[in-house]
């Protein structure tokens, strides 16, 4: 893309982690970026400064995606700011890491609002700002189809999000909007450190041992897939969830890598 193309990306949850890496990668590819955050204004401003250092424009918008009124404000800020969205990346997520028996109504309400509700709402509000050739990319996760300890809430919400990716891919196709998702494996971010707690070193070692890639993922690994799905090269990929996990889910537990 030429540096004058002035295409615009909105990346939810781009103050940190995978969202931040996606924002910076898209800026490097020539997009102006709306940086969205919830609780980390300083980090969001850092992301925006890094976008601007790459020669692109940046807007910083706060919105708690649990709150439909805040989602509306985010959409309004995009309309009043760049006025257009060429790539919408849904990276923000929040949950309570609990077993299914421990989950209470307020837990699932909050998680589903962020992961599923905000997607419906942003699609409704932003599709009118998305020209033909635009892309929507959802960051899902392995927990949608594999069982991860204390992950039922986010796993089930991500499964719902993946189903919605397929519906949107069909329903938005007449508008020229492509919709896909990415299922990252274990990526080193703040969330991972929080989830793993004291087991972080052991988890890192297990990922090294069990993954054909021989390492944990980096946010940039996922940002590269975002860039591809955003590009015209991905025009024939519709409604798919691209697994980017270093191959760690390929193995048969107990048999791979095994002492053979």
Q: Which of 37, 151, 167, 256 is catalytic?
A: 151
Q: Does 94 bind ligand NAP (CB under 6 A)?
A: yes
Q: How far is the CB of 259 from ligand NAP (least distance, A)?
A: 28
98 labelled catalytic: no
Cα–Cα separations (whole angstroms), residue 122 to 70, 90, 131, 147: 11, 10, 15, 29
CA distance 175 to 257: 46
Q: Does 18 bind ligand NAP (CB under 6 A)?
A: yes
Q: How far is the CB of 63 from ligand NAP (least distance, A)?
A: 6
Closer to ligand NAP by Cβ: residue 87 or 132: 87
Q: Does 24 bind ligand NAP (CB under 6 A)?
A: no
- Residues within window 190-249 making contact with ligand NAP, judged by CB under 6 A: 190-192
Q: Does 75 bind ligand NAP (CB under 6 A)?
A: no
- When CB distances to ligand NAP are compared, the closest residue is 17
From residue 133 to residue 172, what is the string marking binding to ligand NAP with x (rule CB under 6 A)?
Answer: ------x-x-------------------------------
Record the tokens describing residue 142, joined without a space: 């392995």
CA distance 126 to 2: 24
Sign of CA dihedral 249, 190, 178, 148: positive
Which of these segments, 17-25, 76-84, 120-128, 203-211, binds ligand NAP (CB under 6 A)? 17-25
Q: Which of 7, 31, 37, 158 is catalytic?
A: 158
Q: Does 66 bind ligand NAP (CB under 6 A)?
A: yes
Closest-CA residue to 14 (of 177, 189, 153)? 189
Q: Does 25 bind ligand NAP (CB under 6 A)?
A: no
Asked if 10 and 119 count as a contact pair (C-beta separation under 8 A), the reply is: no
Closer to ligand NAP by Cβ: residue 129 or 186: 186
Asked if 91 and 138 count as a contact pair (C-beta separation under 8 A), the reply is: no
Q: Looking at 31, 37, 112, 151, which residue binds ligand NAP (CB under 6 A)? A: 37
Closer to ligand NAP by Cβ: residue 52 or 67: 67
194 labelled catalytic: no
> Which residues in this chain contact ligand NAP in the complex, by CB under 6 A?
13, 15-19, 37-40, 43, 64-66, 91-94, 114, 139, 141, 184, 186-187, 189-192
Which residues are known catalytic residues? 151, 158
């Amino acid at each position: 893309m030429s540096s004058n193309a002035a295409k615009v990306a909105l990346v939810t949850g781009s103050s940190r982690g995978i969202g931040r890496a996606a924002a910076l990668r898209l800026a490097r590819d020539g997009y102006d970026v709306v940086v969205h955050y919830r609780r980390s204004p300083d980090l969001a401003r850092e992301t925006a400064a890094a976008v601007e250092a790459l020669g692109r424009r940046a807007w910083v918008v706060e919105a708690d995606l649990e709150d439909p009124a805040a989602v509306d404000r985010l959409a309004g800020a995009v309309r009043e700011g760049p006025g257009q969205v060429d790539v919408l990346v849904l990276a923000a997520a929040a949950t309570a890491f609990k077993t299914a028996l421990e989950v209470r109504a307020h837990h699932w309400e909050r998680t589903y609002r962020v992961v599923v509700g905000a997607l419906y709402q942003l699609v409704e509000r932003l599709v009118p700002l998305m020209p033909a050739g635009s892309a929507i990319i959802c960051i899902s996760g392995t927990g949608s189809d594999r069982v991860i300890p204390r992950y039922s809430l986010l796993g089930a919400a991500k499964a719902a999000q993946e189903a919605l990716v397929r519906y949107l891919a069909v329903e938005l196709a007449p508008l020229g909007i492509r919709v896909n998702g990415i299922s990252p494996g274990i990526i080193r971010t703040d969330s991972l450190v929080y989830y793993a707690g004291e087991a972080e070193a052991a988890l890192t070692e297990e990922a090294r041992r069990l993954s054909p890639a021989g390492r944990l993922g980096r946010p940039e690994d996922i940002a590269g897939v975002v860039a591809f799905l955003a590009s015209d090269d991905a025009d024939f990929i519709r409604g798919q969830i691209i697994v980017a996990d270093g191959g760690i889910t390929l193995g048969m537990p107990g048999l791979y890598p095994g002492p053979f």
